Every structure is written in structure tokens, then in C-alpha cells.
Amino acid sequence: MRIRTVFASLASAVALSLVTGCAQGGSAGSSGNTVTYWLWDANQLPAYEACAKDFERRNPGLNVEITQMGWDDYWTKLTASFIAGTEPDVFTDHIQKFGQFADLDVLEPLDDLGIEESDYQPGLAANWVGQDGHRYGAPKDWDTVAFFYNKKMADDAGLTAEELNDLSWNPQDGGTFEKAVARLTVDKNGKRGDEPGFDKNNVKVYGLATGGAGDGDGQTQWSPFTASAGWSYTDEQRWGTKYQYDSETFQSVVDWYFGLAKKGYLAPFADYSNNGNPANAQVASGKAAAAFDGAWMISTYYGAKGLEVGTAVTPQGPTGKRATMMNGLADSVSKNARNKTGAKKWVRYLASDACQRIVGRYGIVFPATPDGTEAAVAAYRKKGIDVTAFTEPVTDKERFTTFSFPITDYAADVLALMRPAMQDIYANDAPVSGLNQTNSQINLILGQ
């Protein structure tokens, strides 16, 4: 097994592709006994190295060559590789990109792998069926969003773990959630956000860290609120044809959420954009007391030096439920994979309990199969980490609602329009009504 760690820019990817890929065709570097596999998460690399060793033992003569690169480089180089004909045989796929890749016709149907939806956590397998009825991804892992908080700061504010796990909100006054965030906020004179004399213009510790404006999905920003208010991105759960950013419900929630920054409780957009400062870094540095973040960040928060962190479920909304996005990654095979037979064997193995239990034992992500998930929960427990806030939404459908990224055509165009529109609202206090025009432009692209 050969492992390569790659960090590439678009320019270098295209240059390399033109030199080595086009003349050869197919995946650069692959051969009849090698399967090339790309992923972006360095934390997961050791787990998939272990899976590759097991796969090679089960399939004598087949080798897996893994390439890992950072998130931004990954998508840049992957897109360039499809254009230049140097794509990997297999790659980790994201539901945000599914529509775009389907449009480009670069994915190989996987109907012959025998993927059964019932073998995975609910909804994960169904998300990867295209409009044509063919499967293009094998379930890999899943994540949900929860509320990370600094335990010492919560204790100092007089907030218990039980209280933080029982918060509720509404777009009128913010409910007990806004009260808790205000209580966690402290200005430079030591005044809390809920105390007389609080100076919102000179804040030392923000109650809530910023993860940016959220683009068009708001996964770790506003989506727990919009969903628990009863709003959905599109008119259909999957492959919707009409976006709903012009909804009064959506706009009222967004107005309230970013209004927390005006009150001094939510860190300003500049803290995220100007300093390249993600939410976890703000909490770890003491700049913020809490943050909404995904399960993929569990080890990062709990591994932060000097930080004792706790997690709580998302707050209950006007619908009476708590909500979180449940995102599921998949492994896909390139349509022009050189070693298509080996690629499909590797993907079927990746989606099996055999591999997913191995991945689960590393305690980095929640694998897609129930057995894989149980292995991950046990691994976290061994580390002394309670992951209930992330797993409860999957098992308790009476209290929680889960939802996916919007799955539509022209996803890249939606992002290109929504990113500046949401940033304008957050950073420049633009009126939320401006989303009406943005929504019309998006739906025009979708043919509505």
C-alpha cells in the first residue's frame, strides 16, 4: 500500500494533468492492480490506511493508493482532475457537490454494489440516489451539530449542564437560549450581557462564537434555528426545484440570529473572516464561551489545551422540536476510473461493517452503519467523551428533527449567489428582504 500526502493548487493540478494525464487517459498513477483513492480529512487518514491493509489482505493482488489533501485544495484539484482526465478511481464525496458532479456526468452508477438502505443510519443511503434513479455514492459516515461550551465559563455564569441541555428559542425574544448566550457574554468591565451597563461595543468574551455567515446552508450557524422553526431549503426534500430563501419564516429567523451580533452576544463577522479564526479557535482562546459545531470537531474541542468543554443538544424551536443537520458523506467512483472493477470492490468494502467498525474504533467520526456507529461511541467513551448530544438526534425522533443539505442542480451557482448575500446581512447589516431578489435569481437558474 502506498500513501501520498498531497497539497496542490489548481495551477499545479492542471499543469500536472496536462503533462501526465491527458495522454494516458483515466486516473493518473493507477494501474490494473492499483485503486487510487482521495480523501480530505487528515484525522481520518490512519483509519483508512488500516482499512486499506485489511482490504488488500482480503483481495490479494489489489493495492490501494491513498491521497489526502486539505479541504479547499481537495475540491480544486478534484474538479481540475475531471477536466484533465486525471481523476482518482474513488473519492470521498460531499452531498453539496453531488448535484454539480451529476451535471458534469463524472460519476459511475453503483447500483450493482447491492447497497441496502436499511443497513445504514436512516436517510444516509437514499441521499445518494440521483434524479435518474441510479445510486452514485456508498454511505461512509455521518455527523450532526451540537452546542459546545466552556464548562468554567458556564459555571461562572451560573448555568448548569442540565439548563444548557434544556434551552428553547423563538424569533421574537430569543427565549432561554438568548438569555443563556447573553449571560455567557462579558464586556471589558466585567458586565454580563444580561446586566445593566453592559457595553456591547467593548466585549471581552462573546457568548456565542461566529462560524461565518453560513452561505446558503448555515450548517453550524443558523440551520438549527431555521429547521426548528419549520423551514426547509427547497420545495422537496431531495432534488428540489425551488429554493425558499424568500420565506417569511426563514428571513425572520436570520434577522433574529444575526441580531445577536448587534446586541454584542454573537462575535462579529470580522472575527471569523479577517483573522481566519474558526469557531473552535475562538472558544479555545477564551474569546467566546460557546459555539455550534459539527461532530467532526469533537476531538478538536476536547483536545484543546486548557479547555474543559461540554456539549449540549440544539435548542427547542417554535415547532416543539430540536433540529440539526445530519450530513452523510459517501464514497463515489469516477466514471472514467481506470481500475473500475477494483474501484467498485474498494467502495463496497468501505461501505461494509468490516471497514466501518475499523474506522469507528479510531473515535474520529461516526461511521454510517449501526455497528460502525457503536464502535465510535465506545471509542469516544474510552476517551472520556460523552457524545450523546450528537447521537440522540438520530435515535430520538420525538424530540428531534434531522435534515440534509439541500440537494439540487446548480449547487455551485446557489453558493455563488448566497455567500455574498448572507455575508452582507451579517457584516453590513443589509436588510433580510434583499434575499427575495437573490432567491428569484437562484430559481431562475433552476428554471423556475
How many Å apart are CA 264 and CA 353, to the nearest integer?
Answer: 47
Residue 275 lies inside a defined structural domain of this protein = yes
The reply to whether 275 and 307 lie within a common domain is yes
pLDDT at 275: 65
Q: Mean pLDDT over all residues of the chain?
A: 92
The reply to whether 383 and 425 lie within a common domain is no
Residue 127 lies inside a defined structural domain of this protein = yes
Domain that holds residue 181: 145-325+410-445
The reply to whether 90 and 230 lie within a common domain is no
Answer with the residue of higher pLDDT: 100 or 306.
306
Q: How many domains does the chain have?
A: 2
Residue 214 lies inside a defined structural domain of this protein = yes
The reply to whether 153 and 250 lie within a common domain is yes
Segment 123-143 mean pLDDT: 96
Residue type, 347: V
The reply to whether 349 and 420 lie within a common domain is no
- List for the chain the helix, strand, coil content (%; round to 5): 45, 15, 40
Residue 397 lies inside a defined structural domain of this protein = no
CA 157 to chain centre: 30
The reply to whether 26 and 72 lie within a common domain is yes
Instruction: Provide the CATH number for the domain around residue 38.
Output: 3.40.190.10
How many Å apart are CA 204 and CA 193, to the nearest integer?
Answer: 11
Segment 180-185 mean pLDDT: 98
Helix or strand holding residue 5 (H, E): strand 2-5
The reply to whether 321 and 199 lie within a common domain is yes
The reply to whether 163 and 186 lie within a common domain is yes
Is residue 20 scored above 60 in pLDDT? no
Say if residues 334 and 93 touch (Cβ distance below 8 Å): no
Q: Place 102 in a pLDDT band, splitting at 50, 70 and 90.
A: confident
Say if residues 30 and 89 touch (Cβ distance below 8 Å): yes
Residue 401 lies inside a defined structural domain of this protein = no
The reply to whether 135 and 180 lie within a common domain is no
Say if residues 235 and 413 touch (Cβ distance below 8 Å): no
Burial class of residue 422, CB neighbours in 10 A (0-12, 13-18, 19+)? buried
Residue 395 lies inside a defined structural domain of this protein = no
Segment 20-47 mean pLDDT: 71
How many Å apart are CA 300 and CA 92, to the nearest integer?
Answer: 21
**Stretch among 101-110, 131-140, 205-214, 268-277 having the lowest mean pLDDT:** 268-277
- The number of CA neighbours under 13 Å toward the Cβ of 9 is 2
- 3-state SS, residue 434: helix
Residue 399 lies inside a defined structural domain of this protein = no
Q: What is the pLDDT of residues 291-342, one digit of tens each?
A: 999 999 999 999 999 999 999 999 999 999 999 999 999 999 999 999 999 9
Cell of 259: 441580531
The reply to whether 414 and 367 lie within a common domain is no
Q: Place 103 in a pLDDT band, splitting at 50, 70 and 90.
A: confident
The reply to whether 220 and 236 lie within a common domain is yes
Pairing of strands 138-143, 366-367: antiparallel
The reply to whether 139 and 150 lie within a common domain is no
Residue 374 lies inside a defined structural domain of this protein = yes
